[in-house]
Amino acid sequence: MRPDEISFRLPPPAAAIPARPPEPVPTMVPLTIDGRAVEMPAGSTLLDACKTLDITVPTLCYLETLTPVNACRVCVVEVEGARVLAPACSRQVESGMVVKTRSPRVDLSRKVVLELLGSSVDLSTAPGLAEMMVEYGARPERFQESLGSASSVSSVAQPVKIDNDLYVRDYGKCVLCYKCVEACGTDAQHTFAIAVAGRGFHAHISTELDVPLPDSACVYCGNCIAVCPTGALMATPEFELRQAGAWRPETQAVTDTICPYCGVGCTLTVHVQDQQIVKVTSPFDNDVTRGNLCVKGRFGFEYVNK
C-alpha cells in the first residue's frame, strides 16, 4: 500500500454506540437547621446545608478545595441528641437532624477556641479573625490575666524565616490548620515539601529535617500561601510592603487575566497597588486552577513592574 493510500479515518462502529448512562439521582436528606427545613444530597456536610440556607458559620481550617481536617473547631454546631458539638465543615447530613448553629454552648465553644488561639498566636494579619473575636466576645488576654503575667502563656512566637526570594514563613502566626500541608500534598501539589513535625504543643509545620526552604523539595508554587488563613506564609512583596507600613489592600485594583507563560492558561487574579503588581492569586472556584498556580504564574510578574 502506498503511503497516500493509507486512511487515517476510524472505521464505522460495528454496532450502535451505547447511550450514556443516566446521571444517578442523588438521595435527598431532610434536616432542620435553626428551625428551617432543608433537603441536601446525601454526602453533603452541615456547612453545605448552612450555605444553602444562607446561614454563616465561621471556619478557619476549612477550604472548599481541600479535604476537611477538623483542626480548628471554630465551625462547631449543636446537633440535637448528640453528646458533643459537631464540626459543620466535615459532619455529613443525616435524615431528621435538628441543628443549631448559634446557642450558648456553641458560642462559648467558639469563644474559647478563639481565645486559646489568640493567646498564643499572632493573629494580626489573619483576615476576618478580629471581627470574629468581637462577634464572640473573645478576650485572649484573660488567659494571661488568670496566669498572672503575659509571659506565663506558652506562645509560638519566633523569628520570621526568610531564606529565599519568593516568600517568608512567620510561624509565630501559624494556627496549625494543616491547610498548607494539604495543598503541598495530596490535595493539590503532591510535592510533600512540608508536614507537621513534633507532638503536642511542640507540633509545628516543617520542611523535612527542618532544612531551609531552598534545600527542601519545595518547588515554590506558592499554593501554601494561597490557602494560609493567617498570613503566616506570605509572598515577599506583600511582606516587605507590610514591613514598610505601605500595604493597602483597600486601594488595590483586582483584575482577572490569563497567565501568559504556558498553554494551560491558568486564571490569574492580579492585585495592583500604585501601578505595581503586588500579588498574584487565582480564584478557588476556577475549574482549571482551583486556586493553584505554578511558580511562574504566582511569582513571575516582577518584570512587568520594571
| Residues near ligand FES (CB under 6 A) | 59-62, 70-75, 87, 89
In the complex with ligand SF4, which residue's Cβ is closer, 120 or 230?
230
Q: Would you tell me which residues interact with ligand SF4 (CB under 6 A)?
A: 174-180, 205, 227-230, 232-233, 259, 261-262, 264-266, 293-294, 296-297
Q: Which three cell numbers stand for residue 103?
A: 446557642
CB of 233 vs ligand FES, minimal distance in Å: 18
Q: Which amino acid is at 238?
A: E
Owner of C-alpha cell 507563560: 261
In the complex with ligand SF4, which residue's Cβ is closer, 51 or 296?
296
CB of 93 vs ligand SF4, minimal distance in Å: 27
Residue 114 near which of ligand SF4, ligand FES, none (CB within 5-8 Å, type-dependent): none
CB of 84 vs ligand FES, minimal distance in Å: 13
What's the 3-state SS for the chain?
CCHHHCCCCCCCCCCCCCCCCCCCCCCEEEEEECCEEEEEECCCEHHHHHHHCCCCCCCCCCCCCCCCCCCCCCCEEEECCCCCCEECCCCECCCCCEEECCCHHHHHHHHHHHHHHHHHCCCCCCCCHHHHHHHCCCCCHHHHHHHCCHHHCCCCCCCCECCCCCEEECHHHCCCCCHHHHHHCCCCCCCCCEEEECCHHHCEEEEHHHCCHHHCCCCCCCHHHHHCCCCCEEEHHHHHHHHCCCCCHHHCEEEEEECCCCCCCCEEEEEEECCEEEEEECCCCCCCCCCCCCHHHHHCCHHHHC
CB of 165 vs ligand SF4, minimal distance in Å: 18
CB of 51 vs ligand FES, minimal distance in Å: 13
Cβ-closest position to ligand SF4 = 297
In the complex with ligand FES, which residue's Cβ is closer, 47 or 218?
47
In the complex with ligand FES, which residue's Cβ is closer, 64 or 240?
64
In the complex with ligand SF4, which residue's Cβ is closer, 145 or 165?
165
Residue 71 near which of ligand FES, ligand SF4, none (CB within 5-8 Å, type-dependent): ligand FES
Residue 87 near which of ligand FES, ligand SF4, none (CB within 5-8 Å, type-dependent): ligand FES
In the complex with ligand SF4, which residue's Cβ is closer, 47 or 259?
259
Residue 233 near which of ligand SF4, ligand FES, none (CB within 5-8 Å, type-dependent): ligand SF4
User: Is the Cβ–Cβ distance between 39 and 25 less than 8 Å?
Assistant: no
Residue 175 near which of ligand FES, ligand SF4, none (CB within 5-8 Å, type-dependent): ligand SF4
